Structure 1
Amino acid sequence: MGEVKKLKTRGEIEAKYKWNVEKMYLTDEVWEEDFKKLQQIAPRLGEYKGKLNEAKTLLEYLNNYVEVLSLFEDLAVYAHLRGDEDTANSKYQIMKDKISTYGAEFSAITSFFIPEVLKMKENQIKKLIDQEGGLKLYELFLEQIMEKKPHVLSEEEEKILASVSDCLSAPGNIFGMLTNADMTFPVIRDEEGNEVELTEGNYSVFIRSKDRRVRKEAFEALFGTYEKFKNTVATTYTASHKNFIFKAKTRKYNSALESSLKPDKIPVEVYHNVVDTINKNLTSLHRYVDIKKRLLGLEEIHMYDLYVSVIDAPEFNVEYEDGVILCEKALEPLGTEYLDIFREGIEEGWIDVYENKGKRGGAYSSGSYNSMPYVLLNYNNQVNDVSTLAHEMGHSIHSYYARKNQPYIYADYVLFCAEVASTTNECLLMDYLIKSEKDKARRLFLINQQLEGIRTTVFRQTMFAEFELLTHEKMEKGESLSSEELCKIYHDLNEKYFGKSMVVDKGIDMEWSRIPHFYRDFYVYQYVTGFAAANSFSQIILNGTEEDVEKYKGFLKAGGSDYPINILKNAGVDMTTPKPLEDTIRRFDELLDMLEKELAQ
């Protein structure tokens, strides 16, 4: 019997595979000194209350605020990075709690700032900027605050709204408790006939099973359980809508959709454009369903057949160093400067590569304005791990460029832009891997991987976005939505999106009830816009000129120095038009052509 392979402890991982967090704080004692400093200087910001109508004082406050916030960010990032290295290390969990708790105190100290600025008139702010040249730096920052003015209530009304915030978030909390803690699923039989309790976690494994009986059982067991709670979940879902609509009306927005998009100056037409453009191109998804049905050899294709792969996964064993080389080759079209930054990240200790005992799972990009942009991985020698490396380095190099080229106040990019650079890197990597892979089985697998990525990220999330739009609009008109009505809306959408070849099983009618993102109103469409923008950028980078690449790097350098639609447009992708989405559909069709051609040979 072979020896059980044990997970390494943190100390057993080679230093070259660990991030260089010491670059932030050489010792924990230095961190503690900075924490004491924060406690000393942060309260001084409160002394500016009631004095911000003088140009010199306003500038002084803003400069001090940036200094304190930057220090807070350094402390918070270091604590969470150290805490994620080994979640069982209580010392770093205490440090995380310390800085998190102080974060609430810091927010309270500075809570006077925005209300005080909003009491001023627009011409008063402009006058202050004219009087004090240093305020020019903060002009956009102050403009973005002033744009909230029509939607900010009186001080007393804001207090009332704040006092009921816990109540207003109750539907999402109840949904979370019901689905994560109280709801249990039946026992099903796996491929070997063993009885296994179904969970939300293992459902994703069973629904991909090659054994059709297993995936059907899992599908029916999962959605059959949700159906038993359909009235409760319909109540939490509609209550969440009511709360969001109430807040939108209270803040004097024209609609719930506008209240979600306007703060980032995203026109509501962008949302409608996503839904309309995908609806006009659903024949591509219908073709996908027909091809999948044929390749699986099915007389009827059901909803529980959607996630099983038509291509068997070949063996991949890509060592980390080889994964780095693959990323470098794929990212070559971005030019020498970009590659030099990528290599700097590898060599200077941006990345924490391998899993160790107690290390947080998953992957992310982090860092503060003053630090290197850190990357957490749990690299396991699979092709998906190479893709994750490219993705997270996309985030980190975006942050690197933004922090090098923007002052602190504009270095962060908003959610609408956040996934674009990372997904652009993924698109470039997949394009390179598909073109350079000589093994037919692996090439087919890679083509299918990207097809599935577009199906789930673009088509599926658009269907979610359309469902959200329909249900919000109905409730804004005063219509009440029962569980039966919600199920009918969702069923009809599935029929429209997947076409006549798909048997839309009754179970799928309940899928809306298990989507936690629906409790973050009008959030999911950004997966679609992010992917579409990234696909467009990858095609521009591969087929364009050096000038096009420089414009893309301009997007990376921009951070949050303008509104997201403008930043993307300046770099060559206009999300107010259908083109980026149409380009994505074109890529989907190309991949379907590749798949059929490969299989025909």
Structure 2
Amino acid sequence: MNEAKMVKKREEIQQEDKWKIESVYDSVDSWESGFKELKKKAPVLKEFEGKLNSGREVLAFLQLNEEVSRKAEKLMVYAHLRADEDTSNPQFQTLRNKIDPYLAELASYTAFFEPEILSLPEGSVEKMMQEVSELKMYDFFLNNILKEKPHILSKQVEELMASVSDCLDAPSNIHSMLTNADMKFPVIKDEKGNDVELTEGNYSSFIRSKNRKVRETAFKALFGEYKKLENTLASSLTSSVKNFIFNSKTRKYTSALEASLKPNNIPLEVYYNSIDTINKNIKSLHKYVALKKKLLGLDDIHMYDLYVPVVDVEKDHIEFEKAIEIVTEGLNLLGDEYLDIFKEGIESGWIDIYENKGKRGGAYSWGSYDTMPYVLLNYNFDLNDVSTLAHEMGHSIHSYYSIKEQPYIYSHYTLFCAEVASTTNEILLIHHLISKEEDKQKKLYLINQELEQIRTTVFRQLMFAEFELKTHESLEKGEPLTPKDLNQIWHDLNVKYFGEEMIVDEEVDSEWARIPHFYRDFYVYQYATGYAAASAFAKSIMEQEEKAVEKYKGFLKAGGADYPVNILKKAGVDMTTSKPLEATIERFNELLDMLEKLI
């Protein structure tokens, strides 16, 4: 019997393949010193309470709040990144468990600010900005607070809400620890018959295997483990949704959806229209499933067949250095400045590259105003991982530009804009690979890859969004949701989205339990809207429209200095219409036609 290929421990990963987290704090002791400094400085914020009756006092508060917030974010980023390196490492979990509750306490120190600003006589804030020139920078920030007056609570209630925020995050933390640290998957056979420990990190490779038995085994093994814990995971998810509903009711919104979208001036119609548009075009996905079944030569098609490429090409083993080269070529149209930033990120230690035992699964980009925009990967040497590199570096370079061009107060871009830069990179990359490929089989493979990008980022994420809307609406009506109910909602959505050709395996019914994004209220639809916006940017860049790259970089540099719909509209993309999403579906249909013509 072959010895199972086991995942490396953290200390077995080479130093150059890890992010340079020591540039944030060179040791845990340094972090502890920084934490002590924060706890000494932060309480001074409370001394401003009742004194915000002049422009100078408001400015002094805002300046101190920035200093404290930047210290806190830096501490948080270090603690969370170290904890994610190895979720079983108790020392780093302790750091996270120190900073997270303190952030809730810190929020309570400033809870008086918005109620006090809103209690000032009409026109007071505008007068302050005229009298104190340094306050003009805060014009958008302060006016945004005034806009939200109906939803800001009394000082005492704001303090209470801030103090319980860490408790309200418990469902998300429970889900993360359960699925990343505690959940174990069995050893299965790979394509060569070797025993390999299944993980969330290598599952993506197994589910794309040309060997149907391998992907079926991986599929059933993975979801079988989630099925065992679905009672606990259902409890954590419904508790999280109830928390969002509690917040929306407390703040006098009509729904949790409004509470999520309205602060950023995103019309609710953007959400509803996205789901409506995808439902009107759902037959495009049905056509894709039928075509995939035909191309794979299958008598029946199962959920575990979805990710396998329709074209049989030899799987490339792509070393990380080669991935960098591929992505650089794909993003060439963005110009030297952008590529220089990409190169800087690679060379200066933004990225934690490979999977290790206990490392958080998936990939993300995260940092603060005073750190690198770090990237967590679980690089597994295939083309999908190359695309993930382009995606996450898109996030990080967006952060880089926002931090460089905006003051701290406007350096955080909104969730609505968050997926645009990352997806623009993915689209540019796949278009480049398709256009340069001369081998027919490989070209077909790449066309399928872009189809998969749209299927997973647009169709799949809007299916997620529809699930999220249904669960919130049910609980808002007071209807309880059991694991059986959640499974049924998920099953029915899969049947609707994938059509009559698809056999919706019972194992997938508990897939909702695997999705961490459901613990961020109404986040997932933004992957689809982000993809649609990214498609518009990529199209203008590839067609080399006048000032296309400059407009796009203007979007990257805008940070959070305006409402997201306005930022996109200024850069030439209007998300209040269904046109960007409809154009993305048109591209999906074009790719289906290309696939049919080439076979």
- TM-score, with structure 1 as normaliser: 0.82
Instruction: Tell me which residue corresponds to 1:396.
Output: 396
Change (3 A) 1:376 1:190: closer
User: 1:173-208 deviations in whole A, cap 9, x for unaligned?
Assistant: 787899889999999999899999999888767655
Instruction: Tell me which residue corresponds to 1:340.
Output: 340
Determine the C-alpha separation between the residues in 2 that align with 1:123 and 1:221.
62
Q: Secondary structure at the match of 1:576?
A: coil
**Alpha-carbon deviation of 1:467?**
2.9
Alignment of 1:173-572 (within 5 A): 210=210, 212=212, 241=241, 243-312=243-312, 314-351=314-351, 353=353, 363-377=363-377, 379=379, 381-474=381-474, 476=476, 489-504=489-504, 511-512=511-512, 515-572=515-572
Instruction: Tell me which residue corresponds to 2:141.
Output: 141
Instruction: Tell me which residue corresponds to 1:66.
Output: 66
Q: Secondary structure at the match of 1:297?
A: coil
Whether the aligned pair in 2 keeps the contact of 1:10 and 1:86 (CA below 8 Å) is no
Instruction: Tell me which residue corresponds to 2:120.
Output: 120
Whether the aligned pair in 1 keeps the contact of 2:6 and 2:196 (CA below 8 Å) is no
Whether the aligned pair in 1 keeps the contact of 2:51 and 2:57 (CA below 8 Å) is yes
Change (3 A) 1:377 1:525: closer
Counterpart of 1:141, as a letter, is: F
Unaligned runs of 5+ in 2: none
Determine the C-alpha separation between the residues in 1 that align with 2:497 and 2:208.
21
Determine the C-alpha separation between the residues in 1 that align with 2:155 and 2:466.
36
User: 1:509-553 deviations in whole A, cap 9, x for unaligned?
Assistant: 555565454454422212211222222221121114241211111
Of all paired residues, the percent bearing the same amino acid is 61
Which piece of structure 1 moves more, 281-290 or 309-318?
309-318
Which piece of structure 1 moves more, 269-278 or 498-507?
498-507
Which piece of structure 1 moves more, 564-573 or 207-216?
207-216
Determine the C-alpha separation between the residues in 1 that align with 2:195 and 2:86.
34
Unaligned runs of 5+ in 1: none
Residue 130, structure 1, aligned to residue 130, structure 2: yes
Alignment of 1:556-595 (within 5 A): 556-595=556-595
**Number of aligned residue pairs:** 598
Whether the aligned pair in 2 keeps the contact of 1:185 and 1:199 (CA below 8 Å) is yes
Whether the aligned pair in 1 keeps the contact of 2:7 and 2:355 (CA below 8 Å) is no
Whether the aligned pair in 2 keeps the contact of 1:428 and 1:538 (CA below 8 Å) is yes
Whether the aligned pair in 2 keeps the contact of 1:411 and 1:560 (CA below 8 Å) is yes
Whether the aligned pair in 2 keeps the contact of 1:83 and 1:93 (CA below 8 Å) is yes
**Alpha-carbon deviation of 1:136?**
1.0
User: 1:239-264 deviations in whole A, cap 9, x for unaligned?
Assistant: 65555444423322122321221122
Instruction: Tell me which residue corresponds to 1:52.
Output: 52
User: 1:271-306 deviations in whole A, cap 9, x for unaligned?
Assistant: 011101111211210110111111222333344433
**Alpha-carbon deviation of 1:353?**
4.9
User: 1:71-111 deviations in whole A, cap 9, x for unaligned?
Assistant: 34345445666676788988877766665565455434434
Determine the C-alpha separation between the residues in 1 that align with 2:320 and 2:203.
30
Counterpart of 1:382, as a letter, is: D
Counterpart of 2:468, as a letter, is: E
**Alpha-carbon deviation of 1:587?**
2.2
Change (3 A) 1:57 1:237: closer
Counterpart of 2:249, as a letter, is: K
Whether the aligned pair in 2 keeps the contact of 1:314 and 1:445 (CA below 8 Å) is no
**Alpha-carbon deviation of 1:132?**
1.4
Counterpart of 2:124, as a letter, is: Q
Determine the C-alpha separation between the residues in 2 that align with 1:40 and 1:239.
35
Whether the aligned pair in 2 keeps the contact of 1:273 and 1:576 (CA below 8 Å) is no
Change (3 A) 1:279 1:125: same
Which piece of structure 1 moves more, 568-577 or 368-377?
368-377
Which piece of structure 1 moves more, 281-290 or 457-466?
457-466
Whether the aligned pair in 2 keeps the contact of 1:314 and 1:442 (CA below 8 Å) is no
Change (3 A) 1:151 1:103: closer
Whether the aligned pair in 2 keeps the contact of 1:38 and 1:68 (CA below 8 Å) is yes
Q: Secondary structure at the match of 2:123?
A: helix
Which piece of structure 1 moves more, 521-530 or 133-142?
521-530
**Alpha-carbon deviation of 1:156?**
4.8
Counterpart of 2:259, as a letter, is: S
Alignment of 1:166-177 (within 5 A): none
Q: Secondary structure at the match of 1:384?
A: helix
The RMSD of aligned alpha carbons is 4.5
Determine the C-alpha separation between the residues in 2 that align with 1:32 and 1:160.
27
State which structure, 1 or 2, has the greater radius of gyration over its C-alpha atoms: 1
- TM-score, with structure 2 as normaliser: 0.83
Alignment of 1:6-45 (within 5 A): 13=14, 37-45=37-45
Determine the C-alpha separation between the residues in 2 that align with 1:529 and 1:432.
22
Whether the aligned pair in 2 keeps the contact of 1:423 and 1:534 (CA below 8 Å) is yes
User: 1:40-73 deviations in whole A, cap 9, x for unaligned?
Assistant: 4333323222211221111111112212322343
Determine the C-alpha separation between the residues in 1 that align with 2:184 and 2:370.
46
Q: Secondary structure at the match of 1:248?
A: helix
Determine the C-alpha separation between the residues in 2 that align with 1:184 and 1:381.
23
Q: Secondary structure at the match of 1:452?
A: helix
Change (3 A) 1:359 1:469: closer
Q: Secondary structure at the match of 1:419?
A: helix
Counterpart of 1:67, as a letter, is: E
Which piece of structure 1 moves more, 204-213 or 247-256?
204-213
**Alpha-carbon deviation of 1:210?**
4.9
Change (3 A) 1:522 1:355: closer
**Alpha-carbon deviation of 1:129?**
1.7
